[in-house]
Chains A and B, each alone.
Chain A
Amino acid sequence: MNKHVKDLAPETTDLSRRSFLVGTAATGLVLGYAASGIDHALAAPASANVEPSVWYSIAPDGLVTVTCGKADMGQHVASTMAQIVAEELGANWKDMRVQLASNDPKFNDPVLGAQITGGSWSTMMNFDAMSRAGAAGRIALTEAAAASMGVPASELVVRASTISHPKSKKSMSFAEVVKSGKATKTFTADDLKAIKLKSADQYTMIGVSVPQLDIPLKVNGTAKYGIDVMLPGMVYGALVTPPVRYGATVKSVDDSAAKKVPGFIKAVTLDDKTTTTTGWVVAVANTYANAKKAAAALKIDYDGGPNAKLSSESLFAEAKRLQGLSDSGEFFVKDGDPNAAFGTAAKVLEAEYTTNINIHAPMEPMNATAEFKGDILHIYSGNQFATRSGAIAAGAAGIDPKFVVMHQMWLGGGFGRRLDADMMVPAVQAAKAVGKPVKVIYTRENDMTMDFSRPLTYQKVKAGVDGDGKLVALSHDVVSAWPTQRWGIPDFLSPSVDKKGPLDAFTVNGSDFFYTVPNHYVRAIKNEMAHNATPSGQLRSVAPGWTFWAVESMVDEIAHATGKDPAQLRVELLDGKGKNDGGAQRLRNTLLAAMGLAGYGTRKLPKGEGMGVACVSSQERATASWTACVAHVAVAPSGEVTVKKLTVATDVGTQVNPDGIRAQVEGAALWGMSLALFEKATLKDGGIEQTNFDSYTPLRMSQLPEVAVNVIANGEKATGVGEPAVTVVAPAIGNAVFNAVGARVRGLPITAEAVKAAMKA
């Protein structure tokens, strides 16, 4: 169980101790939770100088602007937050607007206590707070309208930004109530808690595919991403990064040729005390084109450092060595005694599963713009973790984080890449060195070779089956770099079951699945060599992207070894006993839905074709959505795999925006397919070999399969959808390949060569 989720569960959040304020400011009505630490009810704010933490405001023209503290990287989360507010507020969708929050702590996630976007957490963790914020606004507006109309508030009806009194046929728009200045009310924490939220049958907005508020800006070129920021007097920085991913140092910089480039200002060698980067130099010039020319003209001599000889092969070899040691790692799961059970098992299966390094490569290359203005450092960049990234920017500047203002922008793709803060360092240090605002833009080559990548992983899984074909024991060792430990934030680490110290649960999540296995252990083993050589990050879906690859492949292998249908075996394992009660049944139902949609087992497929299934939960057991996939593939005699169709079913409890969910699930499933078949990065001589989209090759339109998505909304709490469908696809494809041609491939990506070799074996 993950400490970071358990400790920060909604019941324990300090949001419950805060007051909610509705007040009149110069700009209209402002509504929000009081800053943390104010435990008592405040007097109703009556003037513009009261600044409660602002979640949304209603202007005198009736427009409702929701401030979103979540990074919007294409999941339309700002629009989703507005939709949840609008439901309870009773606002017309056409009156809703969104803006992106700064790093002011008042915009922190009410559950996580920081500004971080990931884990498919946003909707589930903000649903209740945004609902209550919306409802509090409605109550305040209604009471003010009642006073103005001279009627009892209980007789008023709120709909589409209008408050009406059916008996007298009087009505007031939100705009009119705001202009009246009477809508001031303070809700204590208890008042807020006591608000009766709508039940699902009363929803008029939740569950409706309203148009996403950010989309119009994204079809006419007006959406502003970090790379689009323009400041007066701004100059540009182009990076020169060393041939080694991490650990190199700059011995000397010769800028004599760069000085001949027109517009060249300065070459800045980074002095990065945050240790985020090593050996980086920024060439600063009046334009980006000139900065790039100057960067190319710099002659830099490096010391390659301790990782300069390492390769993917050496990282895998080290992983195997560590896994073989009996005292390696720490226990994430320890139920029963698998080793004893293996001794009495009728059949024992053992397999190694691997995944290679993967690169985020969002379409907007990393960038940041830094400007020192008085005491304040302003950063303009699309970022998923403003709380930490602001601190890194401060560290790079040598100032206190409280003097950093992060200006959030639309993110041209995140996928976990923008949880990191490396781009802050060159922007800040270049701006400091030249005394002007500097925008640093990575080339695609910088972006790929300096990615905080999905780590290379090695997993060993051993399974014991009894005489009745029942799975009685499973041991699972996961060896990888520890991406979250790199953040240096203790709250994001979890205590190990064997009390050997904190472990990085973001390397083993998912392995604590909902199958019932009486003897089960999972060891998290840190590959220190990989950790140092390839500083890793969180890539869309994080650990379940590799743990489910291993688990869901092994379950298939068990089914074939025991003569069972792989889907049927999963249904048996999802018996809902003990700690799995509830979750297991939902996953079982989701699997059955996917099977039904795909026509699994209902017809004989042509030679060389096959179907494979997989079913998964989410990053944490406590934040689970339930997702299953049936992959239908055709395998050529060459080993080449063509995905004919992916059928994905997902149980999300409550859907806020059904069309948005389908878009996320489809995108996630295609990410899963891209990682399964097309994306592979390799380390050689300490550096990432792939530099652009010719050698690192995400899925293109011509490789698009048919994708069928079915969303199950059964009235449970809303859960996240951005990630789970990523993880389910690779094992479903691998299992389908086996079903088609009897070839078991245990390494990602699944290449034609590997399939062909396994066909012969």
Chain B
Amino acid sequence: MPNLNINGRNMSVEAANDTPLLWVIREQLQMTGTKFGCGAGLCGACTVHLNGEAVRSCQTSLADAVGKKITTIEGLSAKGEHPLQKAWVAEQVPQCGYCQSGQIMQAAALLSKNTNPTKEEVVAHMDGNLCRCMTYSRIQKAIMRAASDMRTASATGSERRAT
């Protein structure tokens, strides 16, 4: 039985190697925050992290995920308090909300490498994630807010360390 490292826990699953990671996460592990949208890598609703990179879990086989660190929306932060999640609430981003796990995971991969993205970098990074409610402008604002909060937190943290 393959073992998956997901949200910091090791879990064994029972599925064929070619099973899309999406369905293993949703059905076997019953973590339903990761969503099915298109099954073809065209909408981003199923985005999770593999070793910190945003990937489409509908296009990732179980075999490809074995031995890697998988993070889903449920594991992005222990209490749902990742700066992006807080910013998503502050900007009141979601409407139907269905795409938002994928949007947040996609954005988190960007901010983990770059906490000072330009608007163009945000658009280029996020363009593969569809939102049918068209909440795009709030998504942009929330990413910028989270980035700013992360920069502030990191500056404060450095100061503390310096003193």
Binding site for B on A (CB under 8 A): 73-76, 209, 211-212, 214-225, 227-228, 230, 236, 262, 287-289, 361-365, 410-415, 441, 443-444, 659-660, 663-664, 666-667, 670-671, 674, 692-694, 698-702, 704, 707
- In the complex, the answer to whether A289 meets B19 with C-beta atoms within 8 Å is yes
A319 to chain B, nearest CB (A): 28
CB pairs A–B below 8 angstroms (29 shown): A74-B95, A76-B95, A214-B94, A215-B92, A215-B94, A215-B97, A219-B80, A219-B89, A219-B94, A220-B74, A220-B80, A223-B97, A225-B35, A287-B23, A288-B23, A288-B27, A289-B20, A363-B131, A364-B98, A413-B132, A444-B37, A664-B95, A666-B137, A693-B40, A693-B42, A693-B130, A694-B40, A701-B123, A704-B136
Contact flag A701-B73 (CB < 8 Å), given A211-B92, A219-B88: no
The answer to whether B89 and A413 touch across the interface, beta carbons within 8 angstroms, is no
- Taking CB atoms and an 8 Å cut-off, the chain B residues in 118-159 that contact chain A are 123-124, 126-127, 129-140
Choice from A218, A236, A700 contacting B94 with Cβ under 8 Å: A218
> Which of B49-57, B99-107, B109-117 has 4 or more CB atoms under 8 Å from chain A?
B99-107
Q: Could you list 15 further interchain pairs (A-B, Cβ under 8 angstroms) beyond the known A219-B94, A413-B132?
A: A215-B92, A216-B89, A219-B93, A219-B104, A221-B31, A227-B35, A288-B27, A364-B96, A365-B37, A666-B134, A693-B40, A698-B132, A700-B130, A702-B123, A704-B136
Q: How far is the CB of B23 from chain A (nearest CB, A)?
A: 5
CA separation between A222 and B42, bound complex, in Å?
24
Bound-state CA distance A236–B35 (Å) is 16
Nearest CB of B to A579, in Å: 35
Most buried by A among B30, B97, B137: B97
Residue from B32, B45, B74, B93 within 8 A of A363 (CB atoms): B45
Given A74-B94, A230-B30, residue A363 in contact with residue B136 (CB < 8 A): no
Q: A221's contact among B42, B73, B133, by CB below 8 Å, is which? A: B73
Q: How far is the CB of A291 from chain B (nearest CB, A)?
A: 10
Whether B27 and A410, one on each chain, are in contact in the complex, defined by CB atoms closer than 8 angstroms, is: no
Q: Which of A73, A217, A701 contacts B139 (CB 8 A)?
A: A701
On chain B, the residues within 8 Å of A666 by CB distance are: 134, 137
Residue positions of B touching A, CB distance < 8 A: 15-16, 19-20, 23, 26-28, 30-40, 42-43, 45, 72-74, 80, 85, 88-89, 92-101, 104, 123-124, 126-127, 129-140
Query: Could you tell me the distance between the alpha carbons of A427 and B140 in the complex, rounded to whole angstroms?
Result: 38
**Measured between alpha carbons, how far is A707 from B134 in the docked complex, in Å?**
12
The distance in angstroms between the C-alpha atoms of A216 and B80, with both chains bound, is 9
The residue in chain A whose Cβ has the minimal distance to the Cβ of B138 is A663
Of A73, A214, A219, A670, most B-chain CB atoms within 10 Å? A219
> Which 6 pairs from chain A and chain B are nearest by CB?
A221-B33, A218-B97, A412-B98, A74-B95, A74-B96, A220-B80
A363 to B36, CA, bound (A): 8
B142 → chain A closest CB, angstroms: 9
A222 closest partner in B (C-beta): B33
Nearest chain A residue, comparing its CB with the CB of B37: A363
Chain B residues with Cβ below 8 Å from A663 are 92, 95, 135, 138
Q: Report the minimum CB–CB distance from A665 to chain B (whole Å).
A: 11
Chain A's nearest CB lies how many Å from the CB of B99? 5
Q: Which residue of B lies closest to A382 (CB)?
A: B96
Bound form: Cα–Cα A701–B121 in Å: 12
With A289-B20, A694-B42 known as contacts, the answer to whether A219 contacts B134 (CB < 8 A) is no
A223 to B36, CA, bound (A): 14
- Asked, given contacts A288-B27, A289-B23, A692-B40, whether A361 binds B94 with beta carbons under 8 Å apart, the answer is no
Considering the chains assembled together, what is the distance between the CA atoms of A406 and B26 in angstroms? Answer: 23
**Contact between B27 and A214, CB atoms less than 8 A apart:** no
B138 and A692: CB pair below 8 A? no
CB closest chain-B residue, reference A365: B36
A364 x B35 contact (CB < 8 A): yes
Q: Give the complex CA separation of A722 and B132 in angstroms.
A: 14
Give Cα A217–Cα B73 distance, bound, in whole angstroms.
12
- Chain B residues in 8 Å Cβ range of A228: 26, 32
Query: Could you tell me the distance in whole angstroms from the C-beta of B129 to the nearest C-beta in chain A?
Result: 8
A700 touches B33 (CB 8 A): no
Nearest A-chain residue to B30, judged by Cβ: A230
B89 — which chain A residues lie within 8 A by C-beta? Answer: 211, 215-216, 219
The CA of A230 and the CA of B30, in the complex, are separated in Å by 8
Query: A444 CA to B28 CA in the complex, in Å?
Result: 22
Q: With both chains docked as a complex, state the minimum distance between the C-beta of B72 and any C-beta of chain A, in angstroms.
A: 7
Q: Chain B's nearest CB lies how many Å from the CB of A352? A: 30
Most-contacted residue by chain A among B15, B38, B42, B127 (CB, 10 A): B38
In angstroms, Cα B30 to Cα A671, docked, is 33
How far does the Cβ of A284 sit from chain B's closest Cβ, in whole Å?
A: 14
A223 to B42, CA, bound (A): 23
Q: Which residue of A lies closest to B40 (CB)?
A: A692
Q: A659 vs B85: C-alpha distance in the bound complex, in angstroms?
A: 19
Contact A363 B23 (CB under 8 A): no
Bound-state CA distance A560–B2 (Å) is 70
Q: What's the nearest-Cβ distance from chain A to residue B44, in Å? A: 10
Nearest neighbor of A412 in chain B, beta-carbon distance: B98
CA distance A704 to B137 in the complex (A): 8
CA distance A412 to B33 in the complex (A): 12
Most chain A CB within a 10 A radius of its CB, from B27, B34, B139: B27
* A209 and B91 alpha carbons, distance in the complex (Å): 11
- Find chain B residues with CB under 8 A from A701 CB: 123, 126-127, 129, 131, 136, 139-140
Check B38–A75 contact: CB distance below 8 A. no
Complex interface: chain A residues within 8 A of B30 (CB)? 230
Query: Is A362 a contact of B39 with CB atoms below 8 Å?
Result: no
| CB contact under 8 A between A221 and B95, given known A670-B136, A707-B137 | no
Contact between A262 and B80, CB atoms less than 8 A apart: no
- Given the known interface contacts A222-B33, A288-B27, the answer about A74 and B43 at a Cβ–Cβ threshold of 8 Å is no
Contacts of B35 in A (CB 8 A): 225, 227, 363-364, 412
Closest to A699 in B: B134
* Cβ distance A321 to chain B, nearest Cβ, rounded Å: 35
**Nearest Cβ on chain A to B84's Cβ, whole angstroms:** 8
A42 and B24 alpha carbons, distance in the complex (Å): 54
Cβ contacts under 8 Å, A289 to chain B? 15-16, 19-20, 23, 27
In the complex, what residues of B have CB within 8 A of residue A362's CB? 96, 98, 132
Residue of B nearest to A671 (CB): B134
For B36, B74, B101, B123, the residue with the greatest tally of chain A CB atoms inside 10 Å of its CB is B36
For B85, list chain A residues within 8 Å (CB).
219-220
User: For B26, what are the chain A residues with a Cβ–Cβ distance below 8 Å?
Assistant: 228
What residues on A are CB-neighbors of B28 within 8 Å?
A: 287
Centre residue among A218, A288, A443, A670 by max chain B CB count within 10 A? A218
Query: Is B15 touching A287 in the complex (CB atoms < 8 A)?
Result: yes
Partner of A441, one of B36, B100, B124, B140: B36
> In the complex, how many angstroms separate the beta carbon of B111 from the nearest chain A beta carbon?
15
| A74 contacts across to B, CB distance below 8 A | 94-97, 133
Q: Are B34 and A221 in contact (CB under 8 A)?
A: yes
Name which residue of chain A comes closest to B101, CB basis.
Answer: A221
Known: A219-B104, A221-B74, A671-B134. A412 touches B97 (CB 8 A): yes
Closest Cβ of chain B to A292, distance in Å, is: 9
Residue with the highest number of chain A CB atoms closer than 10 Å, among B30, B85, B89, B94: B94
Q: Are A670 and B95 in contact (CB under 8 A)?
A: no
Beyond A224-B32, A693-B43, whether A413 also contacts B96 by CB under 8 A is: yes
- Whole-angstrom CA separation of A703 from B141 in the bound complex: 16
Complex alpha-carbon distance, A414 and B134, angstroms? 13
Cα–Cα, bound, A364→B126 (Å): 19
- Taken together as a complex, chains A and B put the C-alpha atoms of A605 and B116 apart, in Å, by 35
